[in-house]
Amino acid sequence: MTEPKPSTAEQDALAREAFEWVMRLTSGEATAADSEALSHWRHTSRAHRRAFAEANSLWDKLHPAAVESAARQARASATQKAGLDASRRSFGRRAFLGGAITAAAAGYAVVRPPLRLWPSLAEMAADFRTGTGQQRWIALQGSVSMQLNTQTSIAVLSRPSSESAVQRIELISGEAAITTGPHELEPFVVVATRGRIVATNARFNIRNDGTAVCVTCLEGSVEVEHLDQVATVAAVQQITYTADALGSAMAADSDVVTAWQRGLLVFRDDPLARVIEEVNRYRPGKIILMNEELGRRSVLATFRVDRIEEVVPRLQAVFNLRARTLPGGIVLLT
């Protein structure tokens, strides 16, 4: 006898239940009773077994990427730490936890699930940190101020002990808008991945997404030092570097770069895949676009950060997408 096909609502409910089972079994806390209960759940119907297979497949695709991302961050952190002058660093929480951060990379799957559902150990060890959707103003010594965007972590590497001492911070992850005043006798230094940004009397935006660092100078000028290269970035210019290469300074759209400071996300003919990646920084969980071809479609839109929940319905209407909601704020778009 053929089983009746589940309705769309029933399929969505099964998908959520299946994903909950996968999360439970990979949490490190599953018991023999859980395994037996899952067996009973899977044998309820063919639809149950198919839902569990799809959830398991999704986990298999996402989990290796998350582990590799963690390992890459650990390697970058270890490289940067080796190059720092210990005599000029203050002893803070990040220095104390540095060994634990590196040692924990191999156990990443246990201490943190994929999809960035909670911060890494390196981020939790930061001196200043913002959560998802949060922003924060920070006034440092002298005339240096910072505005931290969502999911941003910063460690203080050195604090000035005199008026002529250099302040240094590390942008572990995320994005910050930094202003250095004209009264600073020494430059202000930001370390990010394998580069340094040196500024005196300037206003600039810096973003570290784990694979690349983007520096946009808004006023004055900054110097970007990367490996054996030094580049000067003038006002309304932008430069990007990765662990191994430094790009060239080019003109920047300052309205787009600083939109987050006004509570906006501005996209001008950006691919849909990049739009979703950006929106994911501002909402709990993760939006996943299951159609790679759709990800190349162009988007011209402005979203309000305080209404981030409106993004999925708007994308559904424009691109005729179907949304499936899973536990933990995960949304699959097909």
- pLDDT digits 0-9 by tens, 276-320: 999 999 998 889 998 889 999 999 999 999 999 999 999 999 999
Residue whose C-alpha is closest to residue 100's, from 124, 64, 129, 84: 124
Two tokens at 117?
A: 């559902």
- Predicted pLDDT of residue 20: 79
Question: pLDDT band at 247, cuts 50/70/90?
Answer: very high
pLDDT digits (tens, 9 = 90+) for 1-10: 566 677 777 7
- Within 42-159, strands assigned E span 128-129, 136-139, 144-148, 153-158
Domains in the chain: ranges and CATH: 8-77 (no CATH), 126-257 (2.60.120.1440), 263-333 (3.55.50.30)
For residue 100, the model assigns a pLDDT of 34
Confidence band of 113 (pLDDT split at 50, 70, 90)? very low
- Exposure of 157 by Cβ count < 10 A (0-12 exposed, 13-18 middle, 19+ buried)? buried
Establish how many alpha carbons lie within 13 A of residue 96's alpha carbon, considering only the half-sphere containing its beta carbon.
7
* pTM passes above 0.85: no
Q: Which two tokens stand for residue 166?
A: 């250099």
Is residue 201 scored above 70 in pLDDT? yes
Rounded to whole angstroms, how far apart are CA atoms 285 and 262?
23
User: What's the pLDDT at 50?
Assistant: 82
Average pLDDT over residues 193-221: 95
User: Of the ranges 5-19, 169-183, 252-266, which is most confident?
Assistant: 252-266
